[in-house]
Chains A and B, each alone.
Chain A
Amino acid sequence: MSSLIKRLGISVVVAGALASTHATAQDTIRIGAPFELSGRFVAYGAQGKRGVEMAVDVYGGKIGNKKIEVLFRDVQSNNQAAVTAFTELTQQEKVDFVIGPIASGIVAASVPAWRQSKPLWIVPGSSSTQLEDAMKGEPLFFHTYPWAYQYHEGTAKALADAMGKGKKVAIVYSDGAYGREQLPWAKEFYTKNGFTVVATELVREGAADLNPVLQKIRLTRPDVLVGIVQTTDAIQLAKQIHVAKLNIPVLVGTAYPQLQEWAQATGEAADGWIGATTYLPGMKRAADPKLAKLFPSLNDWEADFKKRYNREPEFLDVTNYTSAMMLLVAIERAGTTDKEKVAKELATLNIQTMLGTSNFVPTPGGAVHQAFNDMVVFQRDGDKFVVLFPADAADGKLKLKK
């Protein structure tokens, strides 16, 4: 008799324990966040982590009475580690929501791992059109970063407006997915806007001397030089262009002309470079009328960021904050952690964010959900950014380099 009672007692205790853990599991909202927290792309991953952490904190750490738990994983800027982390998050931790990684190559490597269980996936990075191809028609994939061609779409139009037709363009592009993918797009957009492409020169990532390429370009006497390279090479490119006194009146980059790190490293060579972006520090973007606490005006948000992290915010800080915040709002509005329902909410959000309106639209490339398509073209003028395009946001005119 006593042994039966003992066994009964144990079962009750065990059942109670199981029940309580089950209940605790339901009490948290878990979001997987694989980021490049070490290795080559640690700069990106660090911004990813800051953005997401800040969003969760500003939101209040809880949705309803459920705690938000972000499972950060370091993908070590390495494809294999990214696959492992992604798989662990989705198969073992069984998260339904993933935000990150950021670098093009790393995101591409994560795609097969994503396909295993297809969580709701927000990618606040990767401009690679290969990703766009791979994710054609996927309803659970949300891209909150410009595609590569959008840079050139913007700058070509802006320059055509300012310079007129018939001008000559030389393109320098890096050897690697980044440069090679964007080259045909750049050629297409510039040609469409009335430019003649007079030279396309390949440069090796990390090359010790870019002068040969620049001297060859000099011979073609272009009016515009477009540098489709990543930041590390862009530093050297800008410096060597400056030294070589190529006398090309207009210099265009991709993402890097807005980056503080690039500007500090290149010194006066940075002046006059043109870039495109969805976020410029100091831009005027107002708070969302209904969700001002979560989506404040850009100025207010920047001030808050500076107070928390004692540094100037950068593009990816903003992008990740905004993306994470949108996800949290979508989960709240869906009232459930069912990923299909959350995806529906996310897809129909209409919020004024610091990157522009949050509307997700399909792209010509086939991706279903692309947000933040309002590119702004700017030119560096000393420490300032002068917005050239679109006309309604412009606060200055194109200045030719002497």
Chain B
Amino acid sequence: MTTLLNVEGLRAGYEDSIVLQDISLSVNEGEVVALLGANGSGKTTTMRALTGLIRPFGGKITFAGRDLLAVEPHRRVDLGIALCPEGRQVFPNISVEENLFLGSFCKRSRPDRKQTLDSVYSLFPKLAERREQKAGLMSGGEQQMLAVGRALMSKPTMLLLDEPSLGLSPKMVQILFGAIGQVARSGISILLVEQNAQAAFAVASRGYAISMGRVTASGTITELTKSGALQSSFLGSHQPVATA
């Protein structure tokens, strides 16, 4: 198994606070890895450092053998690493279909746009139904599907998902994670940040627990569940999620 993404000793934060003290993790090709932790533990900050929305203070990030920190933020998606951000961040006054077109803005993904679009529509039929609608008018769950679909439009080898279950009804979470499972089976590696551990376990094979900017535990899902490292209050919703 080749390592696709490798993070070593990442230190990052904002103007007056260091959020990530020392984060080290890795994702291998074809894996779905979960990053679990409570609010404020540094999950989103990690995602932002990976996509270049913030510049870390220290540490190394390697993606597909390349030093990711040497690549400008807007160039990273062209390398094959795509983020579906926390809070969806769809373009509200732009139609669903155009949102998806924007997902394939990067040069590498543009030629196959038509085909990629078709595959996203078959993954999320709801989006096909609503293709002309302004994205801001859709429900939270539909917007989340759009955000995932948009990230997929860039034909990534690695998909970063930041709290996809946030604010969604249990039914939506089920549908969404079913789709995420399908994406994983198609060969795309996934790093999944979640508060909803149950949902994460349904698709992930490995996981990291982070707390206060450090990795406190890591291992397969079974190991993590058994070890009790996830006992703290962050476990969030306990709805059972059917495995995909």
Asked if chains A and B are in direct contact (CB within 8 A), the reply is no
